[in-house]
Structure formats: structure tokens, C-alpha cells
Chain A
Amino acid sequence: MAAGVATWLPFARAAAVGWLPLAKKTMPKPPVDKKSRNDEILFVNVSGLRFQTWKNTLDRYPDTLLGSSEKEFFYNEDTQEYFFDRDPEMFRHILNFYRTGKLHYPKQECIQAFDEELAFYGIVPDIIGDCCMEEYRDRKKENQERLAEDTEAENATDTPLPPDSTSRERLWRAFENPHTSTMALVFYYVTGFFIAVSVIANVVETVPCRPPKGSKKDLPCGEKYTLAFFCMDTACVLIFTFEYLMRLFAAPSRCKFMRSVMSVIDVVAIMPYYIGLVMPENEDVSGAFVTLRVFRVFRIFKFSRHSQGLRILGYTLKSCASELGFLLFSLTMAIIIFATVMFYAEKGTKGTNFTSIPASFWYTIVTMTTLGYGDMVPNTIAGKIFGSICSLSGVLVIALPVPVIVSNFSRIYHQNQRADKMRAQQKVRLARIRLAKKGTTNAFLQYKEEGGFQGRGSDNAVCLKNRSSFEHQHHHLLHCLEKTTNHEFTDELTFSEMCMTESVGYRTSRSTSISSQQGVSTSCCPRRAKRRAIRLANSTVSVSRGSVQELDTLQVHKTSSGPQSRSSLNARTEDLKLNCEDRDFTAAIISIPTPPANTPDESLPPSPAIPGILRNSRPTSFTHETVKISSL
């Protein structure tokens, strides 16, 4: 219900008294209105700018933040006011909405910022008044288009395929995005070359060549070198047919593919050849066959797969369809009118060119587009007058829709440019993020090295002091995570080193040395290996206690249950996992808690086998859940 109506509610309820004599049953009890009806002035402080308003004003819209009890969450007891930490400039508009019932969109504000404010205050954007609605909608649509394009650009093309895609999917991808593999690129250029060759051949074969010996007439090259051109044509058509069949095979939805514009163009480009092969050599049919050859020129449209600009042009024309339609319609109207007038004006003249109204169409078109070939000219005075009016109006009619089409084209073209720029920017941004991530890891590792955990003596105190409290807390957190998972962070180098030296039995010594520290030993896992604990369980290695413990550790990783401290840290793991977009991380180190020295011989021999298996296994056959802990 419109909020202004809330003002009239008491009146409507009072008017219900008029129903009482007629009522068949007793009236129900009215709801108890606990709050006092006395109006009071509320103070609203938005980032320091104090607003004052009647409580009733805010109560007008009970389903928004300010109108409901939700605002009590923002009440500041000390200053007896409602404090919102939001944009004060925008709040002015929001408050005006309560006062006047109409929401206005400030034109100089960013549309997203405005939307966010509306969402915060619980106001639905549909209430925007008519005066500002158009502007708001236009800006919103523009913004949404932009966002859609950006997400499309992100998701598109350059992302690597999931490893388990079929050859069909890979083929389709190669066709759609030639940049992904060299083979696709080669194929792309080859087809482009053959399209060009085919088009040029079509053009050249009509050029008159020198006549063969013993004949006076000039022959077109096509008839002179029939065999050569035929061979070239055959080659091109073979390539195109092959390409078309490959695309058809690779297409995820064949029906949709066959209905798409490009596929239709492909078919039309190659059909004439096949029809020509099949057609018998008799006279009347070959006349029709000649016209079919015209369709070969459609091959030039195949270039639109290769050219972005051509696609933009096509898209522009499609989006300006209504303007083009209007242009066509108004031109047709004008042509018919003027042709009729000219015909009747010139009817009396002897030997006139204006033999019929359709014949006058030609004159009208030539005049309106200011071509003026001069093959048809009016002779009578009336004809000349109307002819001049025709040419003057022609300019106007054509000039009207053209700016619309041009502006559309410009907008779409710039959007496309934007998409390319965005992609370039994304790459830079990702690189920067990666660098920052590495920086934090290194900071943490350095912190560890300097014995920040143990809080050692004064010699380290100086270095430690330089770090902010935020860093301290952050590192403490990472440390807690390490303690929880019984694994440590490390960097790439150390990790690969350990992998190298692992097989030499270095583990034994290492394990003893580390077990003196924390009873934790490290072993390797293949870098960037994805593994699943289940796979390990299914491995055919005899599972000894050590390996069981390894599995246990992995399992411990996986489960998110656990003591309270663990859950928050696991959440942290989740965060870390999500942040890890690329594989550039420091993999965690699986620790196999070696049982205390009683049975070192027992546990150790099988264990190397397992990492051995892990190492030898192909990375793609395992997927791993939680073992890798990415750096921040």
C-alpha cells in the first residue's frame, strides 16, 4: 500500500462507524495501539550530518529500515540519536522520500552507490518518481550491460578447460577460440587464407584475359583457364566442407548450430559447387546454375568469424533494426508519393521516360538520394517544381535516422573496446594480487624464522617491533592454524628441496631431528598434486600403522568438526582455499606422525613407498581437498 495512505487510515477506520447499524455481527476488537500517538522529533545522525524529522514521517513506510523497529539497532543511547555510518548526501534523498513520498534519483551519483543505499535502507527502487525513473532505468541498464559483459569476458575463452573434457568439447573450443592452441590458430589462419583465395578467384575469373590464338573475342579468364579455376574452387570447397563437418561434429547442440547464421552462410557458400557437380549439362538448367554461382560470393561473409569489426557492424545493424525499419518505411512512402506526382506531371509530354509509376520510382530514388544520374529528367514546369521538392526532402528523410544508427554503432564499438581494456586490466590486477600474496607468505615465514613464536630474547625484539599489531595477530592466527593441523607453512624452494632429498632416506634423519622439536616429520607430496585420501586408501600398498596415521591426518584435515578453536580455523582454511585461484601456492606439508621410537623400522619402510606412489602418480588422477594450504 502506498505509504501516504497511512495518514488516511485513522479516517478510514473512523468511517467504519457508518457500517455499524448495518452490521450483522459484532465488530471485532481493534488492535491495541501501545505507542503513544504523540508525535516527536527524531534525530538522525548520518556520518556527522544531523537530520531531524517527525517520527510520523518515518512511520509512513513501515517496511523500510527507518520506518520499522530495525532502526533501534542504530540508536545511540548516549547522544539520544540514530547514527548511521553512511553517505550523508544520499541520505538527503532518502529522507526526502519519506517526506514527499517520491524518490528522486540524483543524477550526479553513481548508480551502484545509489542502489546500495536503497538496499541498505530497505527501499525498493520501483518507487522512484516518474521524473527520475527514465534516467535511473537507463543508467541501470547501461551498468548491467557493462557488468554482464565483464563477467562474460571473465568466464569466457581464456579459462582453461576442465581436464576431463571430451575431444568433442576440445574441438569445439578450438573452433570458437583459436587462441587457445596452436593447432586451432593454424587452422584459423588456413581457413582465412582459403576464404580469401576463393573470393579472389571468383573475382578474377570474370576479368577478360587475352583471347587464345585464333580468336578475336576477349574471353574472361574463367573460361580460358577453366581447369585451373576448377581445381582451385574444388580445393576451397573441400576445405570449407571439412571445416563445416568438423564444426557440426563438435557443436554441443547440433540443432542450434545448424540454425545459426554462420552455419547457414557456410552451407550457402558451398552448396553451389555441389549442385553444379550434380547438375546435368543441358542448356536451360545451366542458366539457373549460373545464377547459383552468385551465391559463392557469400563466402566473403565467412570472414566475419575472423573479424571483430564485422561482427560489431552486424550487431549494430541488428540493434538498430527499428531505426532502419523506420528509414525504409518513410523512404518508401516518400518514393511512392513523389513517383505518383511526377508520373502525372509528366504524363502529357511526348516521348517521356516516365512511362509508369514504377518507372518513376527509379527517378525518385535517384533524386532523393541526390545521385542524379540524369537518365530521366522532367520536362514540364510542374515536373521540375516537384522534382526539386523531391530532392530537397530526400536529404531530410535520409538524414534523420542516420545519427541514431551512428550513435548506436559508436556505443557498441566502445563497449567492445572496453571489454578488451578490461581484460588487460584484469591481468595486471591478478599479477599484483599474486605478488601481494607472496609478500605475505614471505613475511610469515620470516617471522617464523626469526623465532617470533617462541618470543625469544631481545636480539629479535627489534625486528619484531617493526611489525604492526595487525601483522602480529595475523601471524598468530596462521600459527594457530599450523598447530591445529599439525602442519607447517613453507615456501616453494624448501618444499621442492625436501621432495628431492626425500628418496635418499633423508627422512629418517630429518624425522628424528624434527621430532625433537615437535614430533612432527615432513614428507613430500608432489607439487600441485591433487589427491584424494580415498585414493590413498585404495592404494595397494600394505597399510602400516604409519600410513594409517598419515591417512588419519589427512582425514583430520578433511573433517570440519572439532573443538571450537578448530572450527574457526577451519573456516580460515576455507578462506584460504577460496583465495587460491591459481596454483601458485605453497603446498602444505603432510606430516606423518612417526610413532615414538619403538618401531621405527616398522613404520618407516612402507612410508617411503606411499610418497613414492604419490610422487609417481600422475597429477591429474588425484584430486585433493584440503591438504594444500595456500598462502594468503
Chain B
Amino acid sequence: MGAVVGTLTMQTRQRQPSRDKVDDELEMTMVCHRPEGLEQLEAQTNFTKQELQVLYRGFKNECPSGVVNEETFKHIYAQFFPHGDASTYAHYLFNAFDTRNNGSIKFEDFVMGLSTLLRGTVREKLEWTFYLYDINRDGFINKEEMTEIVRAIYDMMGKYTYPALKGDVPKQHVDAFFEKMDKNKDGVVTLEEFVLACQEDENMMRSMQLFENVM
């Protein structure tokens, strides 16, 4: 009998928190964010109205509440790179898109980022990339930050690569990068150094053009 009573009381105790959680969730889904008007967005970005419509329809379908949080972001990115672990890179990417640093990306942020990446000038793209690499947003990229980013990128590759990842490949990569970018050899890369070095690199400039027509 005691066992029976015990199990009954256990059930009731468990139900309490779940009910609260459901209420919380309901409240959260009530919060809905609407983007600014279509005209405003069109003015602010380099997309046409139709493109914005297509983008928004897709966005709204995936995130009916109108915002993307980091978890969803990581999940989405992980789907594109199933071989390895994309969560670290997705984290940095999320921070790069989340210009207002409030932990969630609204449609405007999303569209602005895309506009820069796809329709922006070369300078804008390079600035965006610099912003991505500069994790602590202090205006300088140091070796640690770069190593973080490069490691995150190599993490996405996963374990099974050809040729196999032997030794500290990210570190070597970072060293090579700094060789190229750090002109005055002060151990950090500023925005100007970055932009100059990239513009000198023919291959990179050519590759930038390739991403024009992704949308």
C-alpha cells in the first residue's frame, strides 16, 4: 500500500513543474516579432522586393516566432555539415549576425547580413569577414582569435579527411595566415592590414565574385 501511495504522490509531484514549463512555453510563443516594412528593408538592403518576399517566407516558415536563437542556428548549421562538429563555427557566425548582441537574430539582421555578403562591395564583405574573425570586437585579430576560428572550421571537417589531419594543422594554417596578413609584424592584424592583404590576393578576389549569384 505504501508503495502504491508513494507512486501516486510521485506522479503528482512530477506533474507540477511540467505544467509550469508548458505555461512558460506558451508565453514564449506568444512573443512574436514582426520585421519592419518591406519598403524600409528594401531601402536598407540590396535586395529587390521579390527577393525579400521569398526570403521572408522561408524565414517565417522555419521560425514562426520571427526570431532565431543560437540553438536553432547551431542545429541548422549542423545539418549542412554532418561530418564534423559545426557548433563552434555556428556560434561565431551567430555572433557575427547578431549585431545587437541580444542573443537572437531577427529577420532584419538576417537580411542585412545576407545583403552584405551577397550584394555588398568587396570592402563591405571584407569588413564583415573581419568582424567575424574579431571575436572580442576590439578591432584587432590576434593569434588566439584566429586559432579559434580556424579550429572551428577544421572541426567542421570532421575526423575522416584525406589526407588525414596530422599534427597541429590549424596552428600551421594560422601561422601562414599571419605571415600573409600581419604587415608590421606586431602580432595583431588590423582592419586596414586585413583589407590590404586580401586585395593583394588575386585568388581571393576572384573567389569573392563567385558568390555573387547565390541568391
Q: When the two chains form their complex, are residues A18 and B208 in contact, meaning their CB atoms are under 8 A apart?
A: no
B125 lies within 8 A of chain A by Cβ = yes
Interface residues of B in 113-149 (CB under 8 A from A): 113-114, 117-118, 125-126, 128-129, 132-133, 149
A56 to B128 Cα, complex, angstroms: 29
CB distance from A475 to the nearest CB of B (A): 58
Q: When the two chains form their complex, are residues A10 and B114 in contact, meaning their CB atoms are under 8 A apart?
A: yes
The answer to whether A5 and B76 touch (CB under 8 A), given A10-B114, A33-B213, A397-B4, is yes
A2: which B residues are within 8 A, CB to CB? 79
Interface residues of A in 391-415 (CB under 8 A from B): 392-393, 396-397
A19 to B92 Cα, complex, angstroms: 12
Q: When the two chains form their complex, are residues B1 and A13 in contact, meaning their CB atoms are under 8 A apart?
A: no
The answer to whether A56 and B118 touch (CB under 8 A), given A10-B215, A13-B214, A23-B207, is no
A14 to B87 Cα, complex, angstroms: 17
A8: which B residues are within 8 A, CB to CB? 58, 62, 76, 80
Q: When the two chains form their complex, are residues A29 and B210 in contact, meaning their CB atoms are under 8 A apart?
A: yes
A334 lies within 8 A of chain B by Cβ = yes
The answer to whether A337 and B150 touch (CB under 8 A), given A17-B125, A17-B211, A39-B50, is no
B26 lies within 8 A of chain A by Cβ = no
B194: which A residues are within 8 A, CB to CB? 21
B16 lies within 8 A of chain A by Cβ = no
CB distance from B137 to the nearest CB of A (A): 15
Point out the residue from B77, B117, B129, B214 that lies within 8 Å of A21, measured CB to CB.
B129
Q: When the two chains form their complex, are residues B1 and A390 in contact, meaning their CB atoms are under 8 A apart?
A: yes
Interface centre among A20, A30, A54, A333 (most CB of B within 10 A): A20
The count of chain B contact residues (Cβ–Cβ below 8 Å) is 51
Q: When the two chains form their complex, are residues A11 and B153 in contact, meaning their CB atoms are under 8 A apart?
A: no
Q: When the two chains form their complex, are residues B54 and A14 in contact, meaning their CB atoms are under 8 A apart?
A: no
Nearest to A1 among chain B residues (CB) is B79
Q: When the two chains form their complex, are residues A15 and B62 in contact, meaning their CB atoms are under 8 A apart?
A: no
The answer to whether A13 and B62 touch (CB under 8 A), given A8-B76, A22-B177, A334-B1, is no
Q: Tell me the dominant secondary structure on chain B's binding face.
A: helix
B167 lies within 8 A of chain A by Cβ = no
CB distance from B192 to the nearest CB of A (A): 14
A12 lies within 8 A of chain B by Cβ = yes
Q: When the two chains form their complex, are residues A30 and B114 in contact, meaning their CB atoms are under 8 A apart?
A: no
Point out the residue from A10, A333, A392 that lies within 8 Å of B3, measured CB to CB.
A333
Q: When the two chains form their complex, are residues A23 and B117 in contact, meaning their CB atoms are under 8 A apart?
A: no
Q: When the two chains form their complex, are residues A20 and B129 in contact, meaning their CB atoms are under 8 A apart?
A: yes
B61 lies within 8 A of chain A by Cβ = yes
A16 lies within 8 A of chain B by Cβ = yes
CB distance from B147 to the nearest CB of A (A): 11
A7: which B residues are within 8 A, CB to CB? 58-59, 61-62
A389 lies within 8 A of chain B by Cβ = yes
Point out the residue from B50, B57, B80, B128 that lies within 8 Å of A5, measured CB to CB.
B80
Interface centre among A7, A99, A100 (most CB of B within 10 A): A7
A56: which B residues are within 8 A, CB to CB? 54, 57-58
Nearest to B214 among chain A residues (CB) is A13
Interface residues of B in 190-215 (CB under 8 A from A): 194, 198, 201, 203-204, 206-208, 210-211, 213-215
A10: which B residues are within 8 A, CB to CB? 55, 114, 118, 214-215
Nearest to A99 among chain B residues (CB) is B61
Q: When the two chains form their complex, are residues A21 and B3 in contact, meaning their CB atoms are under 8 A apart?
A: no
Nearest to A393 among chain B residues (CB) is B1
A392: which B residues are within 8 A, CB to CB? 1
Interface size class of A (residues with CB under 8 A): 35 or more
A37 lies within 8 A of chain B by Cβ = yes
B173 lies within 8 A of chain A by Cβ = yes
Point out the residue from B2, B93, B177 that lies within 8 Å of A337, measured CB to CB.
B2
**Contact flags A329-362 to B (C-beta < 8 A → 1, else 0):** 0100110011000000000000000000000000
Interface centre among A21, A29, A100 (most CB of B within 10 A): A21
Q: When the two chains form their complex, are residues B129 and A17 in contact, meaning their CB atoms are under 8 A apart?
A: yes
Interface centre among A16, A19, A99, A338 (most CB of B within 10 A): A19
The answer to whether A11 and B2 touch (CB under 8 A), given A22-B150, A27-B207, A37-B54, is no
The answer to whether A20 and B117 touch (CB under 8 A), given A5-B76, A7-B58, A26-B203, is no
Nearest to A12 among chain B residues (CB) is B80
B188 lies within 8 A of chain A by Cβ = no
CB distance from B50 to the nearest CB of A (A): 6
A9 lies within 8 A of chain B by Cβ = yes
A348 to B2 Cα, complex, angstroms: 24
B51 lies within 8 A of chain A by Cβ = yes
A253 lies within 8 A of chain B by Cβ = no
B181: which A residues are within 8 A, CB to CB? 21
Q: When the two chains form their complex, are residues A18 and B211 in contact, meaning their CB atoms are under 8 A apart?
A: no
The answer to whether A337 and B54 touch (CB under 8 A), given A16-B211, A17-B128, is no
The answer to whether A19 and B153 touch (CB under 8 A), given A11-B114, A14-B118, A397-B4, is yes
A333 to B1 Cα, complex, angstroms: 10
Nearest to A4 among chain B residues (CB) is B62
Q: When the two chains form their complex, are residues B211 and A14 in contact, meaning their CB atoms are under 8 A apart?
A: yes
Point out the residue from A13, A17, A99, A390 that lies within 8 Å of B208, measured CB to CB.
A17
Interface residues of A in 465-514 (CB under 8 A from B): none
Point out the residue from A4, A21, A30 that lies within 8 Å of B210, measured CB to CB.
A30
Q: When the two chains form their complex, are residues A27 and B210 in contact, meaning their CB atoms are under 8 A apart?
A: yes
B69 lies within 8 A of chain A by Cβ = no
A2 to B76 Cα, complex, angstroms: 9
**Contact flags A204-246 to B (C-beta < 8 A → 1, else 0):** 0000000000000000000000000000000000000000000
Point out the residue from B61, B117, B214 that lies within 8 Å of A4, measured CB to CB.
B61
B96 lies within 8 A of chain A by Cβ = yes
Q: When the two chains form their complex, are residues A26 and B129 in contact, meaning their CB atoms are under 8 A apart?
A: no
The answer to whether A12 and B77 touch (CB under 8 A), given A7-B62, A18-B93, A39-B50, is yes
A451 to B106 Cα, complex, angstroms: 83
CB distance from B20 to the nearest CB of A (A): 22
B53 lies within 8 A of chain A by Cβ = yes
Given contacts A10-B214, A393-B1, 12 further A-B contacts (CB under 8 A): A8-B80, A17-B211, A18-B93, A21-B181, A22-B150, A25-B203, A37-B51, A37-B54, A39-B57, A56-B58, A334-B3, A338-B1
8 A-B contact pairs sorted by A residue (CB < 8 Å)? A7-B58, A10-B215, A15-B93, A18-B96, A25-B203, A29-B210, A39-B54, A337-B2
The 10 closest A-B pairs by CB, nearest first: A7-B58, A14-B117, A393-B1, A27-B207, A26-B203, A13-B214, A5-B79, A18-B132, A17-B117, A12-B80
